[in-house]
Amino acid sequence: MALKDINGINIEVALKANGYVIVDNLIPDEMMPRLKAATERVVDRARKGEWHHCRTVGKQFPPWTEEDNVDVWGVQFMMHPELQEAVFMEWYGSEPLLAAVQQLLDCSREQLQFELFNLLINPRDNDFDLTWHRDAVTAECPEDEEREKLKIPHYGTQWNTALYEDDCLYVVPNSHRRVRTAEERDITINDPKSHNMPGQIRVNLKPGQTVFYDNNILHRAAYFKSKKRHTLHACMGTTEGGDHRANNIFQHGLGWLDTDDFRATLVESLKVPYENTLAMSKATGLSAKPIHG
């Protein structure tokens, strides 16, 4: 089925215009219970300190350090071979998802680039707010530089797919390609957890819904310990960008991708996208400097 008119909209036009778009049904029904069972195990391991690649409460951007028994708001590397949860790779390489991503990036399967797949979760002990931000432009970035940075194409897309109802994310529609207004700049620098960003909307995802968003849209998220969140958080790119995405992706530290253990887990549909990512890594290696430090 063409995705073009899902929800009565053309998804790539909506994403370009608004900086985000919500799409239904990118998780096949039979996969949903398996994904839920896998995230349950992964979250349990993360909270017990048995999986050290985690986003720790109190720190928003990478690098996160490996610590024991800390509260976490995200779990990294769903496709890491040591996690041994094959359903994540199966979903990341599944047809409806790849078709949507290809449509959004206007590229062929051969041009897709294998990237990140993490999990966003409710913290166990403490509520946690992410500040208003753009992923690839710091709050302090001067206006001229911000204008230039926002002109750079992404050659990729990222998304959140909710396994349970998720209303944690806030965005300012259509803020992804323009510099911040004076008021927005002031909030991002001086009151970054503001609940009153002009034009903000709360993104409400029902289970199984996906929001694709431009990672330079002004966004924040509110993490509540009391409300279960298991949301798949991933991205893919296209080879059209050359090594453009390298820093964004490899700042997460992906050395484990270039191992035989990992290659043994690859599903057929992701073999070419994976080779594309390795080729891109030749320029930088599989780790890079953090953007937000």
Ligand X SMILES: O=C(O)CCC(=O)C(=O)O
Interacting residues toward ligand X by CB under 6 A = 120, 130, 135, 160, 168-169, 219, 221
Q: Which does 120 bind (CB under 5 to 8 A by kind): Fe ion, ligand X, none?
A: ligand X
Least distance (Å) between residue 213 CB and ligand X: 9
* Residue nearer to ligand X on the CB measure, 107 or 218: 218
* Residue nearer to ligand X on the CB measure, 168 or 172: 168
Q: How far is CA 260 from the centre of its chain?
A: 25
* Residue nearer to ligand X on the CB measure, 70 or 107: 70
Q: Which does 168 bind (CB under 5 to 8 A by kind): Fe ion, ligand X, none?
A: ligand X
* Residue nearer to ligand X on the CB measure, 135 or 240: 135
Least distance (Å) between residue 34 CB and ligand X: 23
Residue nearest to ligand X (CB): 221
Q: How far is CA 141 from the centre of its chain?
A: 22
Among 71, 127, 129, 135, binds Fe ion (CB under 5 A): 135
Report d(CA 120, CA 160) in Å as an integer: 9
For residue 32, what are the contacts with CB-CB under 8 A and spacing of at least 6? 163, 207, 208
Least distance (Å) between residue 32 CB and Fe ion: 25
Q: Which does 236 bind (CB under 5 to 8 A by kind): ligand X, Fe ion, none?
A: none
Q: What is the dihedral of CA 249, 253, 257, 259, to 10 degrees?
A: 160
Which of 26, 57, 30, 45 shows the shortest CA–CA distance to 85? 45
Least distance (Å) between residue 53 CB and ligand X: 14
* Residue nearer to ligand X on the CB measure, 225 or 275: 225
> For residues 205 and 163, is the Cβ–Cβ distance under 8 A?
no
Report d(CA 19, CA 185) in Å as an integer: 18
- For tokens 């430090």, the residue is 293
Q: Cα 259–263–264 angle (5° rounding)?
A: 115
Which positions lie near Fe ion, rule CB under 5 A?
135
